[in-house]
Amino acid sequence: MAKLTEEQKRQRAAKRALRSALDAEADDRRCHDQDERWKREGTRLSWAKYVAGEPCRGCGEPMQDGLGDWYPLMKLSESEKREYEETDRRFRERHADCQGGRWSISGSRVTHCGFCCPPPPMEPQQMEKLAKLFASWPSREERKKDLDTWDLTLRCDHMVPHIQHREHSYVSTGVVDCPECGERRGVVSSERVGPAYRDDGTIRDRTTADRERLARELAAAEAKLTRQQKNAATTQRRIAELQEELGSES
């Protein structure tokens, strides 16, 4: 088989990225439509309904059965293994095309589908803990210092900015809103631009960000050239020394 050229590799990578963006769009639409259906049909349980023991409105199974968690397979008896395998088989049959993963509640052996079954409601105590946690976060102005802007190229070829925390080394979201199309579009590629906000807290415009990025690249290129020039000078001196030694021997 002939070795692929760099251009062929680039074209294949671009096709893979486009397919991935299209798949992300399809999955996003699918999940959005399911969420809208849950809202229309009142599929999500309230905390009161959950505590009262109402079954899952997505699959009809109990939200929890109180039988306790499954032990690791190595510790199950033969009869428990058969029960586990049969339960797993039935689940796979019911949700063969869901592609939604699974979830369950601690202390229960019932498995629910991540696509068909809305997650259990959050208990009031958890809501209070989250409210306290959010209240203790740094202010919005302080958080701005740790945010970077990324340029996302979408499946429609439009480019949109995306702001996220600087600790992230890549953009994890696969679909975003495209202002020009007015639709949700898959992300084909992403590039970190730099800090999203200036020191005064105002958002950094694209021109400023581009100039700063180019300045960084220029400084790096100049430093590389300096190193190369030093190496060249060292090599030139070595050549002169060798030529001198060769001349003296003759």
CA distances from 223 to 194, 210, 216, 217 (A): 21, 20, 11, 10
Q: Looking at the predicted structure, is the pLDDT value of residue 210 above 70? A: no
pTM of the model: 0.70
Report the alpha-carbon angle 190-194-186, nearest 5.
20
Q: Looking at the predicted structure, is the pLDDT value of residue 213 above 70? A: no
> What local confidence, expressed as pLDDT, does residue 245 receive?
80
Task: Give CA–CA dist 162/147, Å, rounded.
Answer: 10
Task: Give CA–CA dist 26/99, Å, rounded.
Answer: 12
> What local confidence, expressed as pLDDT, does residue 217 receive?
75
CB burial string 34-48: b at 16+ within 10 A, e below: beeeeeeeebbbeee
Quick one: pLDDT band at residue 225, thresholds 50, 70, 90?
Answer: confident
**Half-sphere exposure in the Cβ direction for 129 (13 Å, CA):** 5
pLDDT in tens, 15-59: 999 999 999 999 999 999 999 999 999 999 999 999 999 999 999
Q: Which two tokens stand for residue 118?
A: 């809305």
> What local confidence, expressed as pLDDT, does residue 151 receive?
92
What phi and psi values does residue 178 have, to the nearest 5 degrees?
-100, 115
Domain ranges of the chain: 7-119, 140-204, 205-250
